[in-house]
Amino acid sequence: MKKLLYILSNEKRRLKSEILLGEGPRLKIYPQKKSEFKLLLIASLKPNELLTVQQTIFELIEKSAFTIDLLNVWAGVPRMSKKDLNEYKGIIIHNTFSYHRSELDILNELILKKFEGIKILMKQDEHFRTNRIVEFVKRNNIDLILTIWDEETARGIYSDEKSNVEVMQYLTGYIPEEYRRLNYKIENREIDVGYRGSINPLIFGRLCYEKRKIGDDFIEYAMKYGLITDISSKKEDRFLGKDWLDFLGNCKSVLGVESGSSIVDYDGNVYAKYKRYIFQNPQATEEEILAFLEPYEQGISYCAVSPRHFEAAACRTLQVMYEGDFQGIFKSNRHYISLKKDFSNIEEVVEVILDDRHRKEIVDCAFEEIVMNDEYSFKTFVKKFDTRVLMLLEKR
């Protein structure tokens, strides 16, 4: 299958702007491309969508060997005729639209039940009400699910004798080519430690709680060591687009934890018990709530590397993180500095942050072994995706 691609950069930017700022669904965003098969990508791209979300969608459209038309449903799902759908060999449901089961049911009613081609579901946040997604996959004969779980775990969750859905592990984000050309200097950075955390519901477990707590705790220690910090978990303090990269490029180091959730709630029972506990104990502290949830943190892991980790590595910013698996990509004290959760090694961490030579050794290693590694590039992800899709099409 030969790939023919001709997209002028200015036209590409204009089309991106239209799809993000338009008032409704748009089709055929890249009509210049020609290929043997056409796919329809259904996504919910809101205005001012996160950069990493935009990247995944447009890198898939641009780099795929297939012609992919984008249907943006952030303003509502249109009813498509069977004739219109017959133009496509497959439908891809992007994870921006697959979070809520109710939205998927609307999509099924208006589009999926009339479609006879292959169906692909891209999924993230699989830790909450997992069984609802499993049931949707089986009822709608999804052919392939892209999952954050490793493939062995995913097959155990999504596949059985009644379902032959295929699974493919993917990352929450990948490295675009332009990140390899970022040129943020290691020297003369104004901020010693930067961070933008997030405030998540405690039902997602201690891992999500740590996304905020690591910043709150570090501020107290930073004052003792005279560090210049810019740390916040407030939504209004977030940076978007290139402003985020510029922020990283001005920080000697950035805090971090694994992405994902430390509690997998298959059927909503944990959430129901959590709500009942909150109702019965309105004065409970966060630590008391987490202690109540502790027994539910013993199941399978739903931890992942985040696009933030790739972005920091690309900006040559030292990552100071609680030690974790990071899907085997980031290695402790090679690609990042481990910070113990009790901060017992804070003095050693501060020494590395302020030591330009040592800091350079680690960020250079992360850049060369991760950012420059094709395994974590969009190009490789799309190639693997295309291979799986082509195999499905050949079975038809």
Q: What is the pLDDT of residue 216?
A: 94
pLDDT category of residue 35 using cuts at 50, 70 and 90: low
pLDDT (0 to 100) of residue 199: 87
User: Is 7's pLDDT higher than 50?
Assistant: no
- pLDDT class of 34 with cuts at 50, 70, 90: low
- pLDDT value of residue 151: 93
**pLDDT the model gives residue 8:** 28
Q: Would you say residue 17 has pLDDT above 70? A: no
Q: In this predicted structure, what is the pLDDT of residue 74?
A: 83
CATH 3.40.50.2000 domain range(s) in the chain: 177-264+299-374
Q: Which tens digit of pLDDT belongs to each residue from 143-169?
A: 999 999 999 999 999 987 667 899 999
Backbone angles phi, psi at 251, to 5 degrees: -105, 135
Supply the pLDDT for residue 21. Answer: 36
Q: Report if pTM > 0.75.
A: yes
Q: Residue 1 pLDDT > 50, yes or no? A: no
Alpha helix (H) residue ranges in the chain: 9-21, 51-63, 82-85, 101-110, 130-139, 151-158, 206-225, 242-249, 269-280, 286-293, 307-314, 346-354, 356-366, 378-395
Do 296 and 205 touch, CB atoms closer than 8 A?
A: yes
Candidates 1.10.600, 3.40.50, 1.10.10, 3.30.2320; correct CATH number of 9-173+377-395?
3.40.50
Whole-number average pLDDT of the chain: 88
CB 36 within 8 A of CB 89: no
pLDDT of residue 79: 83
Whether the CB-CB separation of 360 and 186 falls below 8 Å is answered with yes
Lowest-confidence pick of 197-201, 249-253, 311-315? 197-201
Residue keyed to tokens 């943020």:
184
Nearest to 302 by CA among 279, 340, 270, 349: 270
Query: Between β-strands 259-261 and 302-304, what pairing exists: parallel, antiparallel or unpaired?
Result: antiparallel
Whole-angstrom distance, CA of residue 320 vs CA of residue 338? 6
Alpha carbons 323 and 301: distance in angstroms, whole number: 15
d(CA 70, CA 41): 5
At 20, the pLDDT band (50, 70, 90 cuts) reads very low
Closest CA relative to residue 366, chosen from 210, 161, 186, 108: 186
Helix (H, G, I), strand (E, B) or coil at 343: coil
DSSP state of 161: T
Residue 98: is its pLDDT beyond 70?
A: yes
Contacts of 189 (CB under 8 A, 6+ apart): 249, 250, 251, 252
Q: What is the CA radius of gyration of the chain?
A: 22
Please tell me the predicted confidence (pLDDT) of residue 286: 94
Question: Which CATH architecture best describes the domain 177-264+299-374?
Answer: 3-Layer(aba) Sandwich (3.40)
Report the alpha-carbon distance of residue 198 to residue 121 in Å, rounded: 27
* 305: nearest Cα among 130, 203, 173, 207: 173
93: exposed, middle or buried (C-beta count within 10 Å: 0-12, 13-18, 19+)? buried
> Which residue has better confidence, 145 or 11?
145
Positive or negative, the CA dihedral 218, 219, 221, 226 is: positive
Q: Taking CA 15 as the corner, what is the angle to CA 388 and CA 8, rounded to the nearest 5 degrees?
A: 85
Which of 45-59, 193-207, 309-323 is predicted least confidently? 45-59
The pLDDT of 85-94, averaged and rounded, is: 94
pLDDT tens by residue, 167-218: 999 999 999 999 999 999 999 999 999 999 988 899 999 999 999 999 999 9
> To the nearest whole percent, how much of the chain has pLDDT over 70?
90
Residue 105 has pLDDT above 90, yes or no: no
Mean pLDDT of 131-146: 92
Q: What is the mean pLDDT of residues 245-259?
A: 96
φ, ψ for residue 122, nearest 5 deg: -95, 125
Residue-level pLDDT at 15: 45
pLDDT at position 341 over 90: yes
